[in-house]
Structure 1
Amino acid sequence: MAVLEGSTQVEVTTPWSHSPAAAQPPPMWPATLLGMRVLICPDKFAGTLPAPEVAAAVAEGWRSVAPDDELLLRPLADGGPGCVAVLAEALGGRRLPVPTVDPLGRPAAGEILLTDDGVAYLESAQACGLHLLSPAERDPKATTSYGLGLLVAAAVEAGARTVVVGLGGSATNDGGAGMLVPLGVTALDGAGRALPYGGAALAAVAGLDGAPRLRGAALVAATDVDNPLLGLHGASSVFGPQKGATRADVLLLDAALERWADVLVERLPDCPSGLGALPGGGAAGGLGAAVLALGGRCESGIGLVTRAVDLDSALDTADLVVTGEGSFDHQSLRGKVVAGVAGAARDRGVPCVVLAGRVSTGRREAAAAGVTEAHSLVEHFGGEERGGVAAAMERPAEGLRALGARLAGQWSR
């Protein structure tokens, strides 16, 4: 099998085989199959293309070489930016605009997806997203999740019985303290005064005022990571530097969140004990912990989305899976889209190819996760030393079309 230029290939020694059931595809596939069945199910390429456009570009390139192959596009999300759009395409329902604020309190546009079965979907990135701030504005000591609370409150007021909050891509590290304010709960200092917004202020938290106003709605955090709230693998240590935190800030923020977790356990009746160590609590700067403290639960974001788009049925009869994301790195294997898709493909004996803006995951790690090959836009455009990074950011669709065409030449029957 030929190796594409600028690619990472994992040797595969077992021939690909398909069960007899594959001869009768589910209705999602076209009735007449002339060539391969290729499932294209990428995540967004952060900062450049949303998932639907990534899938479309790869498909366009593939069809230019192998027009008789049957392509099924299933854009995915892991709970981070773009989650609502992907779910709306799969589930239908009403997309309701909701005015909110960004991590610094400035007006921002948000929305909720309300389905016919009373489930509301929203994403934290619309109110807390890192992309809403310039690099100079990033300071997790001061940024707030208040805007996310406005979205959750709007979902409750719209009559949702379950509110699913996609967590990922946040600029905040306040443990959800800001989010709780529109829901009726305010953090207080030792003198009974409301604390300022931001993660640093939680170092002085001593109590809470008010009670959650959820009208019986259940909360679900769709997380893209399983990190706990506190410690070396917690929100502050792992994600704080990405949001502008210095080493000193990380220590301050982790101590503040520890104090915050103690208060939540003590004052909220539905908060589980050991909050600081629970998986998913560190997602989105501790928003996962806030959902848990309100009696909610954490779920895998990619698992939730793949169920919504019925990815299993598509995987069952695919000959090849193409997935991808902006950066295929060590974090990709911790609950991200690529890990979920590649693992499911591996379990079915189906090859899985990853396309990414940049690839830094080792071959053995990738193979263990179920990845057959990984290809990089940066390398396609000549590598880092020849302007590949800038080209990958400026012309991602062009690069994905080219890689799609080259994959078709390599894989199509």
Structure 2
Amino acid sequence: MRVLIAPDKFAGTLTAVEAAEAMAEGWRRQAPADELDLAPMADGGPGFVDVLHAALGGEVLAVTVRGPHGEPVPATLLRVGDTAYVESAQACGLHLLDGDAEQATTAGVGELVAAAVDSGARRVVVGLGGSGTNDAGAGLLHALGATADGPLDVGAAGLTAVSAIDLAPARDRVAGVELVAASDVENPLAGLFGATKVFGPQKGVTEERIPVVDGWLEGFAAVAGRRTALEKGAGAAGGLGYGLLLLGATREPGLTLVAEAVDLGRRAREADLVLTGEGAFDFSSRAGKVPYGVASVAGEALRPCVALAGKVLVGSREMRALGVEAAYAMVDMVGEERSFGNPAGALADVAARVARSWSQ
């Protein structure tokens, strides 16, 4: 039997690569004769560069950029031919947030893009997701050369002082380079479905502050380009999508981009069963999350898809609506203490148990 193993990261515990290896270890324990094909996945958020490097090879270049509060942080970019892949979370990720999200900047992402351009890349793909920022991409624009009559690199709070902006230097900096914003988020920059209202609370923006911060982004859009603020994906990564779109970037679904890079469709057709997974499997997984995307590919290949997760928060009906035949929760099968104390071992144990039911 041939099994394709294509999980996302288990946020806070396992990278996608580690999760795939743990699932494979457990499966082999129960069904050593099965042939396993590991295809760790990402949707543009944390793990984006690692997953693509594992699939595509290429050269990893180490750089140091500004973190969300201005501190130096290590980051990497992946060069594959003329294309460079960068991961915005390495420069402005939620895990780097150590203070007020209203004062967190995306300047480090702009420095990553600049490093990619300086490396000779003619196409730069920026993975969006897992950000701790909400500055409408102003920091990115500043790092690439944009100027304004107010600060662009001190977070959303600085946008109140911006009444004029010159984007020409930033556009010149990336002239001749194809920019791609890799994100499955389709939200506009501001408003009821915008970056602040939908994603601000997970970054620490309180309910009473949402209208204020959203107003800052609305004001900035009035200066930098209101029409672009309405485009799909402008609200991705706290408006980092907006900053990239202002520079002429196109948006591609991150999951689709990764799936094509790892040739997931062909690998699913060659498998008898597809395994996927993530930390929490719930109905929000439909919104561009890895398990739903993998299940969709499996469905097109007419292959069953099974999910392993830290927690499963959907019933069988919702599960099937997501294209998943069955889902298994680590906390239910091996207990919460083991799931968090030894996530790789716990996931391997669950995979071994699932193999008893699913391996031929």
Classify the TM-score, shorter chain. over 0.9
CA contact (8 A) 1:61 1:404 kept: yes
Matched, 1:257 2:224: no
Matched, 1:132 2:96: yes
| Alignment-derived partner of residue 350 in structure 2 | 403
TM-score for both structures, normalised by structure 1: 0.83
Within-5 A mapping of 1:55-70: 55-70=20-35
The 10-residue stretch of structure 1 (122-131 or 348-357) with the greater mean CA deviation from structure 2: 348-357
Read off the aligned partner of 1:181 and give its amino acid letter. H
Match of 1:300 among 237, 253, 259: 253
Q: Which runs of 5+ in 1 are unaligned?
A: 1-35, 266-272, 383-387
In structure 1, distance between residues paired with 2:312 and 2:321: 16
Read off the aligned partner of 1:49 and give its amino acid letter. L
In structure 1, distance between residues paired with 2:182 and 2:239: 13
Runs of 4+ aligned structure 1 residues displaced above 4 Å come to none
Matched, 1:232 2:192: yes
The Cα of 1:229 is off from its aligned counterpart by 1.5
| Alignment-derived partner of residue 11 in structure 1 | none
Q: Cα RMSD over matched residues?
A: 1.5
Matched, 1:202 2:159: yes
CA contact (8 A) 1:226 1:334 kept: no
CA contact (8 A) 1:42 1:74 kept: yes
Q: Which has the larger radius of gyration?
A: 1
Within-5 A mapping of 1:261-340: 261-265=221-225, 274-340=227-293
In structure 1, distance between residues paired with 2:35 and 2:292: 24
In structure 2, distance between residues paired with 1:255 and 1:327: 32
Read off the aligned partner of 1:55 and give its amino acid letter. A
Matched, 1:184 2:145: yes
The 10-residue stretch of structure 1 (217-226 or 166-175) with the greater mean CA deviation from structure 2: 217-226
CA contact (8 A) 1:138 1:243 kept: no
In structure 2, distance between residues paired with 1:146 and 1:224: 22
The Cα of 1:153 is off from its aligned counterpart by 0.5
CA contact (8 A) 1:355 1:377 kept: yes
Matched, 1:78 2:78: no
Matched, 1:371 2:324: yes
CA separation of 1:322/1:138 partners in 2, compared to 1, >3 Å: closer, same or farther?
farther
Name the SS of the counterpart of 2:236 in structure 1. Answer: coil
The Cα of 1:79 is off from its aligned counterpart by 0.5
Name the SS of the counterpart of 2:102 in structure 1. Answer: coil
| Alignment-derived partner of residue 129 in structure 2 | 168
In structure 2, distance between residues paired with 1:100 and 1:277: 29
Higher share of residues assigned helix: 2
In structure 2, distance between residues paired with 1:275 and 1:156: 23
CA separation of 1:405/1:90 partners in 2, compared to 1, >3 Å: closer, same or farther?
same
TM-score for both structures, normalised by structure 2: 0.95
Match of 1:88 among 53, 56, 74: 53
Q: Which runs of 5+ in 2 are unaligned?
A: none
The Cα of 1:78 is off from its aligned counterpart by 0.6
Name the SS of the counterpart of 1:141 in structure 2. Answer: helix
Name the SS of the counterpart of 1:370 in structure 2. Answer: coil
The Cα of 1:366 is off from its aligned counterpart by 2.1
In structure 2, distance between residues paired with 1:217 and 1:67: 47
The Cα of 1:392 is off from its aligned counterpart by 2.1
| Alignment-derived partner of residue 244 in structure 1 | 204
In structure 1, distance between residues paired with 2:80 and 2:206: 42
The Cα of 1:176 is off from its aligned counterpart by 0.4
Match of 2:8 among 18, 24, 43: 43
Matched, 1:153 2:119: no
CA contact (8 A) 1:61 1:402 kept: yes
Match of 2:180 among 199, 215, 220: 220
In structure 2, distance between residues paired with 1:347 and 1:169: 29
In structure 2, distance between residues paired with 1:375 and 1:261: 44
CA contact (8 A) 1:200 1:252 kept: no
CA contact (8 A) 2:4 2:268 kept: yes
The Cα of 1:316 is off from its aligned counterpart by 1.0
In structure 1, distance between residues paired with 2:166 and 2:187: 28
In structure 2, distance between residues paired with 1:359 and 1:60: 22
In structure 2, distance between residues paired with 1:227 and 1:253: 16
Name the SS of the counterpart of 2:275 in structure 1. Answer: strand
The Cα of 1:393 is off from its aligned counterpart by 2.2
Matched, 1:114 2:61: no
CA separation of 1:195/1:274 partners in 2, compared to 1, >3 Å: closer, same or farther?
closer
Read off the aligned partner of 2:103 and give its amino acid letter. A
Name the SS of the counterpart of 2:86 in structure 1. Answer: strand
Aligned length: 357
CA contact (8 A) 1:80 1:224 kept: no
Name the SS of the counterpart of 1:165 in structure 2. Answer: strand
The Cα of 1:138 is off from its aligned counterpart by 4.1
The Cα of 1:259 is off from its aligned counterpart by 1.5
| Alignment-derived partner of residue 21 in structure 1 | none
| Alignment-derived partner of residue 143 in structure 1 | 104
The Cα of 1:348 is off from its aligned counterpart by 2.6
The Cα of 1:194 is off from its aligned counterpart by 3.4
